[in-house]
Amino acid sequence: MTAQRIPPNRLAFIDAIKAVASQLIVLHHLAFYGPMSDYTQTICPETIAWLSQHARIAVQAFLVMGGFLAAQALARDGKLTDKPLLQLLQRRYIKLAVPYLIALLLAIAAAALARSLIAHDSIPEAPTVTQLVAHALLLQGVLGFDGLSAGVWYVAIDFQLYALLLLVLWLARRALPEQPAAGLWCALALIAASLFYFNRDASWDNWALYFFGAYGLGAVTYWGIQPKRISLWFAAIVAIAVAALWLDFRLRILVALLVAVGLGFGRCTGVIESWPKSKLMGWLSEISYSVFLVHFPVCLVVNAVFERFAPHAPAIQLGGMLIAWVGSIGAGAILHHLVEKPAFLLRGKVTPA
């Protein structure tokens, strides 16, 4: 792959992490949801088992990077931007929800097609009106509805996390306007609460508090490390995370901490902006959200077609998995160019009411 200069508004190191993590999520769902993987595991059982059980840990990378980029956008110096809260929330919702809603419609259509071809427990049932409304409001998990597509829970959690960080920074600015570090202290307290309590109780996993430990690690990494300088803020979050792991080891938190340390090293040294210089990584990163949204409908249809019409020989079913993987990337690229990019432009036109 020929190296290229990374545009100044992109961070090459984050692009690489997003590219790899997004592909791991696609492969995880391909391995986790059959029936193609059920046949394929007879010829590569260890690979299918690892993808099915462990590749989902890549979500932690997205949580940490989400916090890092939110901190960059909302409060470069740790103090909240002067833009109105409602405007910031509207822009975030538009950015997330426009491609998400289109992908949901595709998922509903794909599930209907798959149900007409085969019967399998990985195929979602036809949605109710209430279920659709809950998904549109990003409240499906909170209200106890089954997801209409794999991974839609993450979109809802991402919006919650952004809103929670925004609220914390706003309250800190209002309560202590003369203390620029007030928002960072509040974020540290919330990270500790998440890692020591909420993240240890699975009943909170539909709420942002469960995930704020990883998200906050990313945010404070941005604030706590400047080019060629590491502050005590970064040391504090590392200490909190290590203590939380000592109390109750969780692989997901270890992965989140390692990603945060990697981002911190990259930001301190400048590597985050320039390495690796890969056109492919940059492209996969750019379309990663759309791939994440649309890959499940693609995988549903390919699974159904190969189960109904193709021989069940493991090698042929493995070919089906590869087709679904490549098809997911292609569908994501289309969704990105036709929907996600225009939605990003629309987001920029939102003004306060």
pLDDT greater than 80 at residue 7 = no
Among the residue ranges 24-33, 171-180, 207-216, the one predicted with the least confidence is: 171-180
Higher pLDDT: 329 or 233? It is 329
pLDDT range class, residue 348, cuts 50, 70, 90 = low
Mean pLDDT of the chain: 89
Note the pLDDT of residue 346.
66
Note the pLDDT of residue 92.
93
Note the pLDDT of residue 167.
93
Instruction: Please provide residue 27's backbone torsions phi and psi, each rounded to the nearest 5 degrees.
Output: -65, -35
Note the pLDDT of residue 79.
78
- pLDDT average, residue stretch 101-107: 95
Higher pLDDT: 160 or 79? It is 160
pLDDT greater than 60 at residue 349 = no
Note the pLDDT of residue 9.
60
Among the residue ranges 11-15, 151-155, 173-177, 191-195, the one predicted with the least confidence is: 173-177
Q: Using one digit for the tens of pLDDT, what is the confidence trace for 60-90? A: 999 999 999 999 999 887 778 888 888 999 9
Whole-number percent of the chain with pLDDT over 90? 71
Whole-number percent of the chain with pLDDT over 70? 94
Q: What is the SS3 assignment for 226?
A: strand
Higher pLDDT: 150 or 246? It is 246
Note the pLDDT of residue 8.
46
**Domain range summary for the chain, segments of one domain joined by +:** 12-347
pLDDT greater than 50 at residue 6 = no
Note the pLDDT of residue 351.
47
- pLDDT average, residue stretch 267-285: 87
Among the residue ranges 199-203, 204-208, 339-343, the one predicted with the least confidence is: 339-343
Distances (CA, A) of 109 to 134, 154, 297: 18, 21, 8
Note the pLDDT of residue 321.
96
Q: Which residue has the tokens 């071809």?
A: 117
d(CA 65, CA 205): 19
Q: Using one digit for the tens of pLDDT, what is the confidence trace for 313-322? A: 999 999 999 9
Note the pLDDT of residue 240.
95
pLDDT greater than 80 at residue 245 = yes
Q: Which residues of 302-334 are buried (b: 16+ CB within 10 A; e: fewer)?
A: bbbbbbeeeeeebeebbebbebbbebbbebbbe
Distances (CA, A) of 68 to 17, 61, 74, 102, 223: 13, 11, 10, 27, 8
Note the pLDDT of residue 293.
96
Flag whether the pTM goes above 0.75: yes
d(CA 263, CA 334): 30
Note the pLDDT of residue 71.
92
Note the pLDDT of residue 260.
95
- pLDDT average, residue stretch 203-229: 90
